[in-house]
Structure formats: C-alpha cells, structure tokens
C-alpha cells in the first residue's frame, strides 16, 4: 500500500568525486555507491592494477624473514602463556598462523600469491612444531623436577628427541589447532580476485 508521500528527488552524487550527476548522465551503480563514468573507469583500472601487481616482483627472502619473525612472536606468545599460566592452552597456538601470515604479507611488500601462501604454511607448521616442543619440554622438565630428577632437554632438539618429546603430548585437539594454524597462514597471503 502506498501512503501517498512522494520522496523529494535527491541529488545523486558520485561517491568518488562528489559531482552531482545530472539525469541521464552516464553512471555506474554498484551495490552501495554511484560513480560517474570517469571515476568508475579509474577505480576499475586501479583495481585491476592492484590485482596485477600483487603477485609481481615478490621478494621471497623478505617474505620468509617476515614469516619467521611472525613465527618467533607466535611461538613466544604461546610458550610464554603456557609457562606463565601452567596450562597448555593450544588455542593460543593459532596466533602462530596469524603472525606468520601477517609477517609474510608485510615484509614481502604487501604481496599476495600462492607461493607466499605455501611459504607461510611451511613456516607456520615449523613454528607450531617447535612451539609444541617447547611447551612439552617445559612440562616434562618440571614434572621430572617434582620427582627430584633433573633432565635438561636441549633448546634445539635432534630429530629423535624432537619426535619423542612431541609424541608425549600430541592429541586430537593439537591436530585441530594445527589445522587452524595452517588455515590462517594460508588465507592471509591469498591473492585478491576480481569478481570471483
């Protein structure tokens, strides 16, 4: 039912340059904005440009440095949390995936590509494994200390030590947390796509 009021015809302005659009003037209406033709063409060109350069001239060494820095932060946060609270709260581990992904994107110069996604995932898995080692190491050493035994596990473990220590505390939830870590690390450097 029509209630009889007629809205004043509102002046429509280009969302970019704020020019009033005269009736019949060529324009582009998107979901939440209206653009004059030159602005729309400009923005479209910029967007295509951004998508085109996102995967060009990627500095993978810097990306790896960024990823490793992110991993170091994530590992310290998780391990620190565990040592301070004395709880192995695995969910904190997802910080690793987030920090690695962000680090990779940041130091690669805001680039995004599948190569960066793979870089990010590999580094975050290494970070997760090492953080898990550190957490277990802390718990094992303090459990033994309570029984009056002294065992010092190395900071950088040999593969067999790493495997044995990880085995002691790896459960279903760790697999879930690892999956979240990988998902975050994969998603953050994912390339933008137009209209996909």
Q: Work out how close the CB of 71 gets to Zn ion at its nearest, in angstroms, rounded to a whole number.
A: 45
| Residue 45 engages Zn ion in binding (rule: CB under 5 A) | no
Residue 14 makes contact with Zn ion by CB under 5 A: yes
Instruction: Report in angstroms how near the CB of residue 14 gets to Zn ion at its nearest.
Output: 3
Q: Does 64 bind Zn ion (CB under 5 A)?
A: no
> What beta strand segments (E) does 6-163 contain?
27-29, 34-36
Q: Residues 13, 16, 33, 129: which binds Zn ion (CB under 5 A)? A: 16
Pick from 17, 47, 83, 175 the residue near Zn ion by CB under 5 A.
17
Should residue 28 be labelled a site residue for Zn ion when binding is judged by CB under 5 A? no
76 is written with which tokens? 């310290």
* 3-state SS assignment for residue 27: strand
Cα separation, 78 vs 93, whole angstroms: 6
**Helix, strand, coil distribution of the chain in percent, nearest 5:** 60, 5, 35
Tokens of 120: 């990010």
Indicate whether 36 belongs to the interface with Zn ion (CB under 5 A).
yes
159 phi and psi angles, rounded to 5 deg: -50, -40
Contacting residues for 106 by C-beta, under 8 A, at least 6 apart: 66
Residue among 36 and 131 whose Cβ is closer to Zn ion: 36
* Min separation Cβ 12 and Zn ion, Å: 11
Specify the stretch interacting with Zn ion by CB under 5 A; choose among 1-9, 36-44, 67-75, 136-144.
36-44
Binding site for Zn ion (CB under 5 A): 14, 16-17, 36, 39
């Amino acid at each position: 039912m029509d209630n009889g009021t007629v809205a004043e015809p509102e002046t429509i302005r280009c969302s970019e340059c704020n020019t009033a659009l005269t009736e019949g003037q060529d324009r582009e209406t998107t979901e939440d904005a209206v653009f004059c033709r030159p602005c729309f063409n400009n923005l479209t060109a910029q967007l295509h440009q951004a998508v085109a350069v996102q995967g060009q001239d990627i500095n993978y060494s810097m990306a790896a440095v960024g990823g490793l820095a992110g991993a170091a932060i994530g590992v310290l946060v998780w391990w620190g949390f565990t040592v301070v609270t004395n709880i192995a709260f695995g969910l904190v581990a997802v910080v690793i995936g987030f920090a690695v992904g962000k680090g990779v994107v940041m130091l690669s110069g805001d680039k995004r590509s599948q190569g960066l996604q793979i870089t990010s995932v590999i580094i975050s898995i290494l970070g997760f494994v090492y953080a898990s080692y550190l957490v277990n190491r802390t718990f094992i050493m303090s459990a033994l200390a309570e029984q009056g035994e002294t065992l010092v596990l190395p900071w950088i473990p040999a593969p067999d030590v790493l495997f044995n220590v990880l085995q002691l505390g790896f459960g279903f939830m760790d697999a879930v947390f690892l999956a979240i870590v990988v998902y975050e690390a994969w998603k953050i450097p994912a390339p933008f796509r137009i209209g996909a």
